[in-house]
Structure 1
Amino acid sequence: MKRFIKHAASLTLFALAMQALPASAARLGVTMATFDNNFLTILRNNMQKAASGKPGVSLQLEDAQNDVGRQISQVQNFIAQKVDAIIVSSVDTSTTPKLTRLAQAAGIPLVYVNRMPSDKTLPAKVAFVGSDDAVSGTIQMKEVCRLLNGKGNVAIVMGDLATQEARLRTRFEEEVVSKAPCNGIKVVEKQSAKWSRTEGRDLVMNWLTAGLKFDAIIANNDEMALGAIQALKSANKLGNTVVAGIDATQDALGAMKAGEMKVTVFQDAAAQGKGAVEAALKLAAGEKVPAMIWVPYELVTPANYKGYLSRN
C-alpha cells in the first residue's frame, strides 16, 4: 500500500511538472554552413529572434565552418541528444540525402533552410524553407540586360559550386542571355569566388590584370559583388561597369546608395528564418507542412532600394 501511495504521488508530481511546461516547449538543433557569412548571419539572427518570441523554445546553434564532415557530426549529435527537430543550412547540398536519411531513421523532423537540398523528393517530416534561385538569377540578369540595352560583355562571379543556389543562379543568368532581347550579351568569363567578398575582389582583380574586357559583373551574391566593386574602384573601372548582386544586404544597399551597385535581388532572411523555425515546430508537434515553402525574391534598384533598408 505504501508503495502504491508513493508511486501515485510520483505520478502526480510528474503530471504537475508537465503542466508547468509550456505547450510549445521544444528544443531545435540548428547547424549553419558557416557563421562567417553576411547573409547567413542575418538568417541566423532571425531564427533566434523567431525562437525567442515563443515561450519554451530553445535553439542549439552550431557552426559547421564550411566542413561537410563537421556538419554531418553535428546532425548526428543532435540526434543523440534527441532534439525535437533539426534545422540545416547545408555546407554542400549534395550531402543532404544522407542528412535526410539520418533524421528519418531517428524519427526526428528536419527542415532545410536557404540552401535547397538535392534530394529528388522530400519524405514526410522533412521540408525546405527558402527562395527559388532560378527566379533570382533570372530577374537579376534581366535588369542587367535592360541597363546594357541588350548587348555587351559580362563576367559571372559564381558562389560555391557545391551549393545548388550557385549552380541555379548561374544557369538561369545564362539562360536569359541566350534569348532575345538579351542575346546580344556575351558571357566572357565565369569562375567561383565561394560567396566571399575577399575572393570576389581577388578574382576580379585577376581578370582586370589579365586584360579581360567586360561591361558588367554579375555576382551570385552581394558579398562577391562588393568584392568586385573594391577591385574595380582600385583600377578606376567602376564608373564604366554595371555591378549586380543578390541578397540586398545592408552593405549592398549602402553601395547602391553610393552609386556603386546597380542591381541586387532581395532575399528575405527574416521570412526564411521565421519560416524555418515555425515549420520545425509544427513538424515536431505532429502537424503537416508543405514540402517546399517558398519565400519570393524581389528586384532592388536605385529607384526602390530605400524601401529595403529596414527589411533584413
Structure 2
Amino acid sequence: MKRMIGIVIVAIAFAGFTSPAFAKDIKIGIVVETLGNPYFACLKRSAEAEAKNHPNVKLTVLSGALGTDLIGVTKMIDDLIQKRVHVLAFSAIDPNAMVQTVKKVQKSGIRVLIHSDDLAKQVARHFVGPDQYYGQSAVAKAVAEELGGKGKVALMEGVPGNMSSILRKRGARDTLAKYKGIKVVGVWAANWDRAQGLKKAEDILTAHPDISAIVAVNDDMALGALQAVKARGKLGKIIVTGFNGVEEAMQEVYRGNMLATVLTFCDSVGKQLVRTGVDVAMDRDDKSKYTIDTGTIPLDTRLLQAVGKNLKAGIK
C-alpha cells in the first residue's frame, strides 16, 4: 500500500511538471546564438517586451558569444533544463546533431520550439521563423533581372550545414539556374560574420575580377562584401545583396549601394515565440501545424526609395 501511495505521489509531481497548464507561472527559456548578430538582439528585445504582456510568464533568454558555438548553445540548453522551464526554444545551429538535443529536452518533460534555424527532422513541437527559401529566391530573381539574365555570380553562405544557410543557398541556386546566361562561379562560407564576409569578398574579387554580383545570405556578410567592393572602386559595378533586413543593410539598399535584402521580422519571431510558448505550455496550440511562418518581404532599392520616409526602419 505504501508503495502504491509513493507511485501516485511521484506520478502527480511529474504530471505537475509536464503539464504547466496547471502551474501558477509558465517558465519559458529562449536560447539565441549570439547577441552580436542584430537579428538575435532584436529577437531578444521583442520576446522580453512580449513577456511583459503575460503576467504569469517567467522568461529567461540566454545567448552565446559566437553564432557557431554548438557546445556553448548545448550548455545553455542544459542550464535551462536544470531550471525546469516548461518550454524551451532554440535555433538549430547544427540541424542534424541537434535532433538528439531536442529528444533529450523532451525526455526531461519540457516542450520544445525551434526558431530561426530549423532542424533536419521535424521532431520539435513547432518551428517559428521566416520562409528562408522564398526570401532568398526572390533576391536571386532581382539579381538576375538587374543583370539582364547574364553575368557571373558568387554565393556567400553562412555556416556550412546550417539549415538557414542550406535553404537560402538552395533558393538562390534554384532561381539563378533558370537563367541560362547566369553562371554561379562558386560558394564561399563566411559563417554569418562581417569580417569574414569582407575577407571572402576580397578572395572572390581577386579570383574573379569580372564578377557581376555577390549574393550573401545574411546582411552582416553582405556589408563586409560591400566594404570590399568599395575598396576596389567597384561600387555600382558589382551587385551586392543580403538577407535579414537589419537597419544598416536597409540604409545601403535605400542609397543604392546594395541591390536588395529580405525583411525577416525579427521582432515578430520574438513575440511569436512567447505567444506560442504560452499556447504550448497550456496545451492549446495547433499540433497539426509545424511551421509558424513569421513572414518575409524582399526589399530592393526601388521599393525602399518609393516608401522610404514611411518605413518603420527609420531610414535616413
The TM-score bracket by the shorter chain reads 0.7 to 0.9
* Distance 1:311-1:55 versus aligned 2 partners, 3 A rule: farther
Query: Residues of 2 paired with 1:296 and 1:311: CA distance?
Result: 20
Q: How many residues align?
A: 286
Query: Residues of 1 paired with 2:204 and 2:290: CA distance?
Result: 42
Equivalences for residues 1-312 of structure 1 within 5 A: 25-65=25-65, 66-119=68-121, 121-122=122-123, 126-179=125-178, 182-289=179-286, 290-305=289-304, 306=308, 308-310=311-313
Query: Residues of 2 paired with 1:309 and 1:203: CA distance?
Result: 32
* Distance 1:211-1:293 versus aligned 2 partners, 3 A rule: closer
Larger radius of gyration: 1
* Distance 1:144-1:24 versus aligned 2 partners, 3 A rule: farther
Displacement after TM superposition at 1:192 (Å): 0.6
Contact residue 33 and residue 90 of structure 1 kept, 8 A = no
Query: Residues of 2 paired with 1:24 and 1:175: CA distance?
Result: 49
Contact residue 154 and residue 204 of structure 2 kept, 8 A = no
Displacement after TM superposition at 1:256 (Å): 1.6
Contact residue 129 and residue 272 of structure 1 kept, 8 A = yes
Displacement after TM superposition at 1:308 (Å): 4.2
Displacement after TM superposition at 1:309 (Å): 3.7
Query: Residues of 2 paired with 1:72 and 1:28: CA distance?
Result: 17
Q: What amino acid is aligned across from residue 61 of structure 1 in structure 2?
A: V
Displacement after TM superposition at 1:52 (Å): 2.1
Displacement after TM superposition at 1:242 (Å): 1.1
- 36-45 or 147-156: which moved more? 36-45
Aligned to 1:16: none
* Distance 1:311-1:271 versus aligned 2 partners, 3 A rule: farther
User: What secondary structure does 1:303 align onto?
Assistant: helix
Displacement after TM superposition at 1:88 (Å): 0.5
Aligned to 2:15: none
Query: Residues of 2 paired with 1:113 and 1:303: CA distance?
Result: 31
Query: Residues of 2 paired with 1:73 and 1:311: CA distance?
Result: 37
TM-score normalised to structure 1 length: 0.86
Query: Residues of 2 paired with 1:75 and 1:217: CA distance?
Result: 36
Q: What amino acid is aligned across from residue 281 of structure 1 in structure 2?
A: V
TM-score normalised to structure 2 length: 0.85
Pairwise CA RMSD: 2.0
**After superposition, what is the alpha-carbon deviation per residue over 1:165-193, rounded to whole angstroms, capped at 9, x for unaligned?**
111111121111222xx221001121110
- 136-145 or 26-35: which moved more? 26-35
**After superposition, what is the alpha-carbon deviation per residue over 1:139-169, rounded to whole angstroms, capped at 9, x for unaligned?**
1101111111111111111111131111111
User: What secondary structure does 2:301 align onto?
Assistant: coil
Aligned to 2:7: none
Query: Residues of 1 paired with 2:238 and 2:282: CA distance?
Result: 52
Contact residue 253 and residue 309 of structure 1 kept, 8 A = no
Q: What amino acid is aligned across from residue 36 of structure 2 in structure 1?
A: D
* Distance 1:308-1:96 versus aligned 2 partners, 3 A rule: farther
**After superposition, what is the alpha-carbon deviation per residue over 1:45-88, rounded to whole angstroms, capped at 9, x for unaligned?**
11112112221322212123332122222222212221121110
**After superposition, what is the alpha-carbon deviation per residue over 1:201-247, rounded to whole angstroms, capped at 9, x for unaligned?**
11111222335421111010111111111001011011201111111
Gaps of 5+ in 2: 1-21
User: What secondary structure does 1:304 align onto?
Assistant: helix
User: What secondary structure does 1:48 align onto?
Assistant: helix
User: What secondary structure does 1:227 align onto?
Assistant: helix
Gaps of 5+ in 1: 1-21
Contact residue 219 and residue 242 of structure 2 kept, 8 A = yes
Q: What amino acid is aligned across from residue 258 of structure 1 in structure 2?
A: R
User: What secondary structure does 1:238 align onto?
Assistant: coil
Q: What amino acid is aligned across from residue 122 of structure 1 in structure 2?
A: V
Q: What amino acid is aligned across from residue 107 of structure 1 in structure 2?
A: G
Query: Residues of 2 paired with 1:296 and 1:30: CA distance?
Result: 20
Displacement after TM superposition at 1:24 (Å): 7.3
Displacement after TM superposition at 1:194 (Å): 0.6
Contact residue 153 and residue 211 of structure 2 kept, 8 A = yes
